[in-house]
Amino acid sequence: MTGIRETIARIADKYGANDHEQRDRILHAFNIADQAHAGQLRKAGDPYIIHPAAVADIVSEMGLDADSVIAALLHDTVEDTELPLTFIKKQFGNTVAEMVDGLTKLSSIQYQSKEEAEMENLRKMLIAMAKDIRVIMIKIADRLHNMRTIRAIPERRQQEISLETMEIYAPIAHRLGMTKYRHEMEDLALQILDPVGYKEITDFIAGHQMEGQMFLDHICNMTKEKLAENEIPCKVVGRVKHVYSIYRKAYGQHKELDELYDIYAIRVIVDTQNDCYNALGLVHTIFKPMPGRFKDYISTPKPNLYQSLHTTVIGREGMPFEIQIRTHEMHHTAEYGIAAHWKYKQGLGGQNDSLDEKLDWVRHLLESQEDTDAQDFIQNLKIDMYADGIYVFTPKGDVISLPAAATPVDFAYAIHSQVGNRMIGCKINSRIATIDTPLQNGDIVEVITGPVGRGPSRDWLVIAKTNQAKNKIRQWFKKERFEENLEQGKELLEAALKRSGLSSELLDHELICSELPSRFSFKSMNDLLAGVGYGGVTVLRVVNRIADMAAKLDRRPVTDEEAVNRIVSTNQSPRRRSESGVLIDGFNSVKIKFARCCTPVPGDDIIGFITRGSGASVHRRNCVNIKSLIRSGTEDSQRVLPAEWDVLAGRNFTATVQLYANDRTGLVADIAGMMANMHVAIQSIAARKLPDGFARVDMTLSVENTRELTTICEKLRNVRGVTNISRDSQ
């Protein structure tokens, strides 16, 4: 306990240095929390107060204000003790009370499952965060301390919490630029989720400790000397990258640890922005830069505020390593992200405008969430969080920031919903392109629009990658096509009920009509049916819910005759050719999609992955995503099932190939010509210059099977200048 009192005294002194009142408030908050949690123990047997005190310590380290420290001290009181929120409001004011409220889980509502409850809580927190960003920073501190002490809780819980940390909190920290905390959370979570993989990497690093240190010392000294010669004051630090980043590279790119060169890096910290560029020039005179690996995040900061110069150079014995060059202030922002800006830029009124802009993604995320239920919401959140940003340009030169893999559809809706709704085509870098082409950093995109009132197509829901675009598309369908949606939703639902052996009369059942819509946040049965029609909620989930409710309605025992009929009707459906061309073990009627990451075609070794809510996706067995999923050993990995092709000849499938070539005029024309000669349909083709005189061409083709694809690739290899062809979109 003495340790805690010292910590609190240190924090109170820090905030009280210029303002005695803050000192007293912090001590007061500690005393209240201490009393409220009195007698409560943490799982490890320590007094509970250790936790809020540690969270307050992290919040203080982040550089947040006294109100945030106070909210951190009190963050678990309302949830876990008798202390009412009104008391906190009276003692510490509205701001603190609102923050504590944002950090308190919902308790009044009963949820179907623990999962659903957790998702609703997360949504609540994000809404609080959109109002006051400090809430999420405190939550990150809370989660970090829980991760640091995770060994005390049961193993199953450890896994759940680690997975949530990896999927939600680390990506949020990433989006807020809080790299220091993100890295620590990722490494702690990885240790639980894949202890074997974690150990493999730490063992490797430990095994190479001596040579690694020598290598780093050598390049650090060379760099220091060179900069000193030129009178640039600097700090040079060598480091081993964090375990999870090595893990991701090793398993994501199928590399042996020995082949990985991105383990070591050095960081050069200088005084001014000018010195950054000067230092860059100098390190390039002592080490040979690797072409195409230079990135200037100073002139174009990342969406999470990160600024730095990156270059990869070749060191002694041909060993490449990364150099990051930045100023002290940039370094602080690189570690603490938005929290650093909070400290430096905070006016008395709270958030400033530029900070506000940086938080636009939170707002987009929450926009029109009223119609999505928690599960969709979290799914969307995960997608948006994982995505790294790219910048693309309008023809006038305005910058639009989008997640990686965003398409022209996302771009159009990011400009304005009217532009999106009227889009009929697009040009990327002045060339006509299909609207599902993944955009690349720096692309100039022009949207071609048609007359008003044409509207989006339902396929766009698949093409769009951002929630912003998806929501706007759904809104259009919702508004413009209510009757049509209603009819389509009803048809879809009736058909799905029939397939599940349920009566479509259930849709008229009094109890279902009154309870079902609100389960999906709809006001009436008609709204729900229309929601199914425009894709606001998936059929499968509605059917599952109806099945649950029907089971409760119908508690009477099943007669023998009925039982036999059911078995016969499910087993007897003859093994007919599946519509999709794939049979997944045990799931004959699910909706099947082909994964866009690896575009399997007949002849590929495949597996099925049961997606939450919307059927199954088929991946190649050697797909990077699937391999890392299986390796993760998490619950998700149990949703991978054996699959086989079941397809008649003459049907075409989509395959993507990437082709690298020495860039030259006529390259794309030659490729397109060769495809035409072979009677191969090109669904899309996009070429992009790479910095070092190379070009990358991404093509989507229609092919019957792997044999045809192999023949095509062999022919493509003969096109002048082509150096490499692959099917991995990594």
Nearest in space to 537 (alpha carbons), one of 478, 580, 476: 478
CB of 126 to Mn ion, least distance (A): 17
Task: Supply φ then ψ for residue 668, to 5 degrees.
Answer: -65, -40
Looking at the Cβ atoms of 151 and 499, the one nearer to Mn ion is: 151
Q: Helix, strand or coil for residue 15?
A: helix
Looking at the Cβ atoms of 161 and 607, the one nearer to Mn ion is: 161
Stretch that binds Mn ion, among 24-32, 70-78, 372-380, 462-470 (CB under 5 A): 70-78
Residue whose C-beta lies closest to Mn ion: 142
Question: What is the 3 state secondary structure string of 478-546?
Answer: HHHCHHHHHHHHHHHHHHHHHHCCCCHHHHHCHHHHHHHHHHCCCCCHHHHHHHHHHCCCCHHHHHHHH
Dihedral (CA of 459, 537, 634, 198) sign: positive
CB of 127 to Mn ion, least distance (A): 19
Looking at the Cβ atoms of 76 and 275, the one nearer to Mn ion is: 76
* Burial class (CB within 10 angstroms; exposed 0-12, middle 13-18, buried 19+) of 638: exposed
What's at 605, amino acid-wise?
D
Q: How far apart are CA 240 and CA 216, in angstroms?
A: 9
CB of 75 to Mn ion, least distance (A): 6
Question: What is the 3 state secondary structure string of 395-445?
Answer: CCCCEEEEECCCCHHHHHHHHCHHHHHCEEEEEECCEEECCCCCCCCCCEE
Looking at the Cβ atoms of 57 and 76, the one nearer to Mn ion is: 76
Nearest in space to 657 (alpha carbons), one of 618, 687, 694: 687
Stretch that binds Mn ion, among 72-80, 223-231, 348-356, 459-467 (CB under 5 A): 72-80
DSSP codes, 595-636: -TTT---BTB-EEEEE-SSS-EEEEETT-HHHHHHHHHTSGG
CB of 80 to Mn ion, least distance (A): 8
Looking at the Cβ atoms of 67 and 142, the one nearer to Mn ion is: 142
Catalytic residue among 13, 19, 21, 79: 79
Quote the distance between the C-alpha of residue 411 and its chain's center. Answer: 19
In the numeric block, which tokens belong to residue 342?
């909070």
CB of 142 to Mn ion, least distance (A): 4
Q: How far apart are CA 188 and CA 589, in angstroms?
A: 40
Longest dimension (CA), the chain: 93
CB of 150 to Mn ion, least distance (A): 13
CB of 51 to Mn ion, least distance (A): 6
Stretch that binds Mn ion, among 73-81, 249-257, 372-380, 689-697 (CB under 5 A): 73-81
Looking at the Cβ atoms of 76 and 187, the one nearer to Mn ion is: 76
For the beta carbon of residue 485, count every other beta carbon within 10 angstroms.
23
Whether residue 176 contacts residue 338, with contact meaning beta carbons closer than 8 Å, is answered with yes
CB of 78 to Mn ion, least distance (A): 12
Q: How far apart are CA 655 and CA 683, in angstroms?
A: 9
For the beta carbon of residue 243, count every other beta carbon within 10 angstroms.
21
Nearest in space to 705 (alpha carbons), one of 654, 640, 668, 666: 654
Stretch that binds Mn ion, among 30-38, 71-79, 197-205, 691-699 (CB under 5 A): 71-79
Catalytic residue among 46, 80, 296, 698: 80
Give yes or no: 80 in active site: yes
Looking at the Cβ atoms of 92 and 247, the one nearer to Mn ion is: 92
Residue 98 in the binding site for Mn ion (CB under 5 A): no
Give yes or no: 271 in active site: no
Q: For residue 544, what are the β-bridge partners? A: none
Residues 290 to 309: which contact Mn ion by CB under 5 A? Answer: none
Looking at the Cβ atoms of 23 and 143, the one nearer to Mn ion is: 143
In the numeric block, which tokens belong to residue 512?
């279902």
| Interaction pattern, residues 360-399, with Mn ion; x per rule: CB under 5 A | ----------------------------------------
Looking at the Cβ atoms of 103 and 709, the one nearer to Mn ion is: 103
CB of 49 to Mn ion, least distance (A): 11
CB of 76 to Mn ion, least distance (A): 5
In the numeric block, which tokens belong to residue 681?
């349909």
Looking at the Cβ atoms of 41 and 690, the one nearer to Mn ion is: 41
Looking at the Cβ atoms of 73 and 512, the one nearer to Mn ion is: 73
Looking at the Cβ atoms of 76 and 436, the one nearer to Mn ion is: 76
Q: How far apart are CA 205 and CA 263, in angstroms?
A: 9
Q: Helix, strand or coil for residue 726?
A: strand
Determine the straight-line distance between the first and last CA of the chain, rounded to whole angstroms. 51
* Burial class (CB within 10 angstroms; exposed 0-12, middle 13-18, buried 19+) of 432: exposed
Q: How far apart are CA 482 and CA 479, in angstroms?
A: 6
Looking at the Cβ atoms of 76 and 527, the one nearer to Mn ion is: 76
Residues 129 to 168: which contact Mn ion by CB under 5 A? Answer: 142
CB of 149 to Mn ion, least distance (A): 11
**Number of H-type helices and E-type strands within the chain:** 33, 20
- Sheet containing strand 582-584, strands side by side: 582-584, 640-645, 606-610, 616-620, 592-594
CB of 74 to Mn ion, least distance (A): 11
Stretch that binds Mn ion, among 31-39, 76-84, 112-120, 448-456 (CB under 5 A): 76-84
Nearest in space to 146 (alpha carbons), one of 160, 131, 132, 161: 161
User: Residues touching Mn ion: how many (CB under 5 A)?
Assistant: 2
Please count the CA atoms within 13 angstroms of the CA of 497 that sit on its side-chain side.
20
Given 57, 76, 98, 384, the residue binding Mn ion (CB under 5 A): 76
Nearest in space to 321 (alpha carbons), one of 238, 388, 243: 238
**Catalytic residue set:** 79-80
Kindly list the residues in this chain that would bind Mn ion in the complex (CB under 5 A): 76, 142
